[in-house]
DNA sequence: AACAGGCCCTAATTTAAATCAGGCAACCAG
DNA sequence: CTGGTTGCCTGATTTAAATTAGGGCCTGTT
């Protein structure tokens, strides 16, 4: 298991709820409205005429999709999340350049186009970059994909970041250890970049997610 | 264990809340306010630094005093009753006769007196009857007690009812089975009255509670 | 055809809640 | 002082919730 196999949201699973997830969520709403208290898994199972284990599975899905929140192993610890991620609501993000190829250009005038992204993902100043090269192939980032990046000067250990090294932009995973910083590609064919404390490293932003334009869009 | 040992509210426990019951009720309120969902017995126990079994006991008290409502054996099935029984508020109920002695007289003009009863117990048309005889001794109903009765033509299995059999009123516990109806006294010394479907049985009302006038009142 | 994903099921298993059974100490009223 | 009431406790026991494991059945893709 490569640690680099960490998944980013947005590329694999399609957004939105499946019909039965929607039904479940609706059942939860109704139950709370009628009884003033959240249902148990079993109660939902009875309502929907399916088994508890199935409900449990769907609750897991709803949880990971951010529609509900709950505390493991606690009876009725189920809460509908305020902001049901406005799945369909999308906002445009400017595509401002490419990475692994050269210096991105920030000026809005120079935009190369736009890409629609779910509004709930976008926080702060964001932009999109087209990917060049396969240096992050193990993180499922490929040539031609678009990275949605939030501009921020700091990042955490393990984040995939867009960094500026000697005026060249690059996408790498950030590793911070005691004595140095490393920018590691997610492709064994590419070299790890080591950065000494005194070297200049400018982090442009953090990669929030990846988009792949498919014919349907 | 006689099934007839079922207790009726009103005769034993004095009204009002004890300090610790008040504390418990307050803890429940706070918990709901903070978590948007009712606490479990254990959670209350932790909050109050006492054992779950003690909380359970107190919840029983609060329940019988009408401050909360809950469903047995269901997690978090705890609800604060809207109308915190106006403990002191009492309304007068007319005493209209005696039972096990003869036909009660309904006319208000003929009232024999009044008895004060907590307002929250009284729903619908109610009246009081003085008890004669010891036929319900195991249900803690004794000679001279007053029964608070709600006038209603139907009753459920197990209810203590005032029934009219051939123009004579009597208090008995009602048992309904497949093929017949029985009126059972709560005293082995008295006979069970069996009623065939074709016989006439008129249920006058259901006994809500019992009052024993003591010197203090 | 061979997968992958979504949805549901049965059959356990694990955990947490609620409840039961006695008992003990403090307190109050007769 | 003695009995009844309260509030608590300890130590089971019983129930219900939640969760896990492993499969079957479709359907849409590759």
Which tens digits make up the pLDDT trace of B88-134? 455 677 777 667 645 555 544 455 667 767 666 677 778 888 887 77
Which tens digits make up the pLDDT trace of A144-191? 778 888 888 778 778 888 887 766 778 888 887 777 788 888 777 788
Cβ–Cβ under 8 Å, residues A58 and A45: no
Chain A residues closer than 8 Å to B77 by CB: 37
Q: CA A173 to CA B148: how far, in whole Å?
A: 78
Higher pLDDT, B191 or A13: B191
- For residues A140 and A42, membership in a common domain is answered with no
Nucleotides of D strand lying within 7 Å of any protein CB atom: 5-12, 15-22
Nearest 5°: the CA angle A94, A95, A96 is: 105
- For residues B159 and B76, membership in a common domain is answered with no
Q: Which of residues 29-88 of B touch A (CB under 8 A)?
A: 36-38, 40, 75-77, 79
**What's the Å distance between residue B85 CA and nucleotide C14 C1'?**
41
B50 CB closer than 7 A to any strand D atom: yes
Cβ–Cβ under 8 Å, residues A138 and A210: no
CATH number at residue A121: 2.10.109.10
% of residues, chain B, pLDDT over 90:
14
% of residues, chain B, pLDDT over 70:
71
Q: Tally helices (H) and strands (E) across chain A.
A: 3, 11
Which of A36, A75, A79 lies closest to B75 in CB terms? A75
Whether B188 is in a domain gets the answer: yes
Q: Which of A32, A13, A145 is nearest to A87 (CA)?
A: A13
- For residues B110 and B63, membership in a common domain is answered with no
- For residues B76 and B94, membership in a common domain is answered with no
Which tens digits make up the pLDDT trace of B62-90? 888 878 889 889 999 998 876 554 444 55
Domain that holds residue A181: 90-211
Higher pLDDT, A91 or B201: B201
CA A31 to chain B, closest CA, distance in angstroms equals: 13
To the query of whether residue A135 is one of the catalytic residues in this protein, the response is: yes
The last residue of a domain, from among B80, B113, B131: B80
- For residues B154 and B188, membership in a common domain is answered with yes
The last residue of a domain, from among B80, B98, B114: B80
pLDDT of B157 strictly over 80: no
Strands A90-99 and A126-131: parallel
Whether A122 is in a domain gets the answer: yes
- For residues B49 and B71, membership in a common domain is answered with yes
**Structure token digits, residue B74:** 């269901």
- For residues B159 and B110, membership in a common domain is answered with yes
Q: What is the mean pLDDT of residues B194-205?
A: 77
- For residues B145 and B57, membership in a common domain is answered with no
CATH number at residue A33: 1.10.10.10
């Amino acid at each position: 298991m490569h640690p680099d196999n960490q998944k980013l949201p947005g590329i694999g699973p399609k957004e939105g709820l499946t019909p039965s997830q929607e039904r479940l969520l609706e059942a939860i709403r109704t139950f709370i409205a009628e009884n003033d208290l959240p249902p148990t898994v079993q109660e939902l199972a009875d309502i929907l005429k399916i088994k508890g284990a199935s409900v449990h599975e769907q609750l897991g899905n709803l949880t990971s999709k951010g529609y509900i929140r709950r505390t493991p192993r606690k009876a009725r610890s189920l809460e509908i999340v305020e902001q049901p991620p406005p799945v369909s609501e999308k906002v445009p993000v400017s595509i401002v350049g490419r990475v692994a190829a050269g210096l991105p250009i920030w000026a809005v005038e120079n935009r190369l186009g736009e890409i629609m992204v779910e509004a709930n993902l976008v926080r702060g100043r964001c932009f999109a970059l087209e990917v060049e090269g396969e240096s992050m192939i193990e993180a499922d980032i490929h040539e031609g994909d678009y990275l949605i990046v939030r501009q921020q000067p700091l990042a955490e250990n393990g984040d995939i970041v867009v960094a500026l090294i000697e005026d060249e932009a690059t996408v790498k995973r950030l590793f911070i250890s005691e004595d140095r910083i490393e920018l590691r590609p997610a492709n064994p064919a590419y070299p790890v970049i080591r950065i000494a404390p005194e070297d200049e490293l400018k982090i442009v932003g953090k990669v929030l997610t990846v988009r792949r334009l498919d014919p349907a869009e």
